[in-house]
Amino acid sequence: MGPRGKQIQQLARLLFRLSLVDGAVSPERVAGVLSYVASHRPANPVGVLRAYHRLVAESLARSQAVVDHAGDVSDATLQNIAAAMAKRYGRPVTAVARRDPSLVAGLRVRVGDDVYESSIAGQLSALAASV
Residues 49 and 73 in one domain: no
Residues 74 and 34 in one domain: no
Chain segment 78-102, per-residue pLDDT in tens: 999 999 999 998 888 889 999 988 8
Given 39, 61, 83, which residue is the final one in a domain? Answer: 61
Chain segment 111-130, per-residue pLDDT in tens: 988 888 876 666 667 667 77
Given 12, 33, 61, which residue is the final one in a domain? Answer: 61
* Residue 86 domain boundaries: 65-130
User: pTM (2 decimals)?
Assistant: 0.67
Number of domains in the chain: 2
Given 61, 84, 107, which residue is the final one in a domain? Answer: 61
CB atoms within 10 A of CB 107: 20
Q: How far is CA 100 from CA 30, 56, 76, in A?
A: 31, 26, 19
Dist. CA 131–CA 124, nearest whole Å = 11
